Amino acid sequence: MMMGNTGEVMNRAEMEARLAEVDLTLPPPEREPERQYYFIRRLREWADHRKEELGRTLTANITTFGCQMNARDSEKIQGIMQMIGYEETDSNSADFILYNTCTVRENANLKVYGRLGQLKKEKQENPDMVIALCGCMMQEKGVVDKIRQSYRNVDLIFGTHNLYKLAELLAVKLLDQPQRKKMVVDIWEDAAEIVEDLPKERKYSFKSGVNIMFGCNNFCSYCIVPYVRGRERSREPEDILEEIGSLVRDGVVEVMLLGQNVNSYGKNLKNPISFGELLRRVERIEGLERIRFMTSHPKDLSDELIQVMGESKKICRQMHLPLQSGSSRLLQVMNRHYTKEEYLALVDKIRRAVPDIALTTDIIVGFPGETEEDFADTLDVVERVRYDSAFTFLYSKRTGTPAASMEEQVPQDVAKRRFDTLLSLVQKISGEKTAQAVGTVQEVLVEEVNDQEEGLVTGRTSQNYLVHFPGDGSLVGRIVPVYLEESKGFYFMGRKCVKK
Ligand code: SAH
Ligand code: SF4
Ligand code: F3S
């Protein structure tokens, strides 16, 4: 299962072939993605010229906030920038600086404003620098106005629905002289189409996220995602399977299928297909070793999915099943469409079919009107389910969501105290769970050479546990059996086994 790089060459070659077909003497094509390849080609010619003038390469620094969706979007951005001819860097004086933003909680927004402030000096030193913003925060009302007023150094803003147009927008900024001083802003209310076949650059050679759907229709009352990511849209199964097939030819052994609610995948397609059926088809892709997915909304989790997981050899023994609250009363106000009892019954059903499954979750503390009793229900569910790990969040008020106008916002000190109580319970249980796994042998996909300690590599088990063990770079991208020697709380120290 060594990574062959013939696939990689092929993929690149295909993209390059597309680029070579572009005729710059003609006006830009109307069709996508042809139109974007046209602008990539124009920008590449500009970039080649610019590099010669400067006597150096051009660099791009892309920072990603938020979830896996954004991480995947950043890989698409990176793919386009590389094709134009920018090299990746983490320097703050790069020629192209982009923040792919998140707005799910307020502190995510504050971080971006902080960074933009810091860039003022860098931009004075490198006036050629292009500062770009995209992602969920840009789709929020008022944000673009605030940036126009207070952060004049920003050059380019686009949103979550038109990311595929990056090359075209950048061409406006860089090539159309009259625009050079102006901020280029293009934000769409909702998505027009799903554009396939644009370049993507992967952070890891051996694993990749794959979007199966975009947007969300659930409108949980605290959540801003449906407003900034638009309505739910599924990709055609053929497009997904083709993408995964090509990733596998390119050395990928693990995919993470991405959607805000993967359990409702395919329902709105012209030829509807269930998520379980999609998984069955993905399973059949030869050379693919591991399948993960997120996120599963408990309200839509089907018996079919549980059955598919029970039968599958490739789906990892891990599921992220956001709880949000253990109180049936609050769950209703949150618009989650399940009760405490239904959630617990669902967990039982999943565990019966897949006994060794690791369950993880998201929990919000301090939702408006949360009483001590509601909170006790949350602690109760955590104790009963015994999550392998849990992300805990302090409720953050998001303007425009129904919860923002609910009275009885919980005082900060109360919320903070509950948060600390929950966090220590979650950590205690997760420590106990990892301790139980000591002494077992697990298949580990090696992800990287450990940069903290020489001679160690780091990987993940099927249950998504992190393991460090002695080894070298030749193991990266391979799945090997590892004996878990010691638990360190949220990770293990292990030893590679000789093949059984
Ligand atoms: N679609 C996914 C989650 C996307 S947002 C799902 O349904 O689970 C990731 C997590 O952020 C959510 O699960 C929720 O726990 C948290 N979150 C969302 N809005 C929030 C808010 N206003 N305040 C605090 N946490 C929030
Ligand atoms: Fe937000 Fe709910 Fe949609 Fe998840 S399912 S993105 S929490 S609205
Ligand atoms: Fe954040 Fe957008 Fe994801 S708001 S959590 S980056 S969908």
Residues 21, 167 within the same domain: yes
Identify the domain boundary among 437, 455, 484: 437
pLDDT above 80 for 4: no
Closest CA to 479 of 238, 313, 350, 295: 313
Mean pLDDT of 89-104: 96
**pLDDT, position 407:** 86
**pLDDT, position 500:** 52
At 78, give phi and psi (nearest 5°): -60, -40
Residues 246, 326 within the same domain: no
In a domain, 312, yes or no: no
pLDDT above 80 for 10: no
Residue pLDDT, tens place only, 417-428: 999 999 999 999
Residues 399, 266 within the same domain: no
pLDDT above 90 for 192: no
Identify the domain boundary among 307, 338, 366: 307
Q: For ligand 3, atom 7, which residue shows the shortest CA distance?
A: 225
Residue type present at position 96: F
Residues 284, 379 within the same domain: no
Whole-number Cα distances in Å, 281 to 206, 245, 300, 464: 20, 11, 20, 23
**3-class DSSP state for residue 277?**
helix
In a domain, 197, yes or no: no
Task: Report the CATH number that the domain containing residue 466 is assigned in CATH.
Answer: 2.40.50
Task: Report the CATH number that the domain containing residue 17 is assigned in CATH.
Answer: 3.40.50.12160
Residues 350, 462 within the same domain: no
Residue pLDDT, tens place only, 450-488: 988 899 999 999 999 999 999 999 999 999 999 999 999
Residues 48, 181 within the same domain: yes
In angstroms, rounded to a whole number, what is the distance separating the alpha carbons of residues 78 and 99?
Answer: 12
Residues 222, 181 within the same domain: no
437 Cβ partners below 8 Å, 6+ apart?
463, 465, 484, 487, 492
Residues 346, 273 within the same domain: no
Ligand 2 pocket test target in 70, 102, 219, 265 with most atoms within 8 Å of CB? 219
Structural domain count, the chain: 4
Confidence of residue 178 (pLDDT cuts 50, 70, 90): low
Count of Cβ atoms closer than 10 Å to residue 472 Cβ? 11
**pLDDT, position 319:** 98
Percent of the chain with pLDDT over 90: 87
pLDDT above 60 for 6: no
**pLDDT, position 12:** 74
Residue pLDDT, tens place only, 106-159: 999 999 999 999 998 898 888 889 999 999 999 998 999 999 999 999 999 999
pLDDT above 90 for 9: no
Q: Which of 10-24, 72-86, 225-239, 260-274 has the lowest mean pLDDT?
A: 10-24
Ligand 1 pocket test target in 109, 219, 391, 393 with most atoms within 8 Å of CB? 393
Residue pLDDT, tens place only, 313-332: 999 999 999 999 999 999 99
At 131, give phi and psi (nearest 5°): -105, 125
Residues 51, 181 within the same domain: yes
For the chain, give the mean pLDDT: 93
Evaluated on CA atoms 364, 368, 370, 371, the torsion sign reads positive
411 Cβ partners below 8 Å, 6+ apart?
none
Is residue 72 lining ligand 1, measured as CB closer than 6 Å?
no
In angstroms, rounded to a whole number, what is the distance separating the alpha carbons of residues 103 and 218?
Answer: 17
Task: Report the CATH number that the domain containing residue 419 is assigned in CATH.
Answer: 3.30.750.200
In angstroms, rounded to a whole number, what is the distance separating the alpha carbons of residues 388 and 19?
Answer: 47
Question: CB of 212 within 8 A of CB of 144?
Answer: no
Question: CB of 289 within 8 A of CB of 1?
Answer: yes
**pLDDT, position 119:** 92
Q: For ligand 1, atom 24, which residue shows the shortest CA distance?
A: 395
Residue pLDDT, tens place only, 254-290: 999 999 999 999 999 999 999 999 999 999 999 999 9
**pLDDT, position 182:** 85
Mean pLDDT of 328-348: 98
Residues 166, 44 within the same domain: yes
Token output for 432: 């106990």
Residues 29, 101 within the same domain: yes
Is residue 288 lining ligand 1, measured as CB closer than 6 Å?
no
In a domain, 296, yes or no: yes
In a domain, 196, yes or no: no
In angstroms, rounded to a whole number, what is the distance separating the alpha carbons of residues 322 and 361?
Answer: 4
Q: For ligand 2, atom 5, which residue shows the shortest CA distance?
A: 218
**pLDDT, position 487:** 94
**pLDDT, position 254:** 98
Domain residues for the domain of 294 are 202-307
Is residue 395 lining ligand 1, measured as CB closer than 6 Å?
yes
pLDDT above 70 for 161: yes
Cα 304 to ligand 2 centre (Å) = 22
**pLDDT, position 76:** 94
Residues 432, 445 within the same domain: no
Distance of CA 181 to the CA centre of its chain: 33
Residue tagged 């878990």 (tokens): 484
**pLDDT, position 1:** 32
**pLDDT, position 3:** 37
Is residue 103 lining ligand 3, measured as CB closer than 6 Å?
yes
Task: Report the CATH number that the domain containing residue 208 is assigned in CATH.
Answer: 3.30.750.210
pLDDT above 60 for 171: yes
Angle CA 98–103–106, to nearest 5: 120
In a domain, 191, yes or no: no
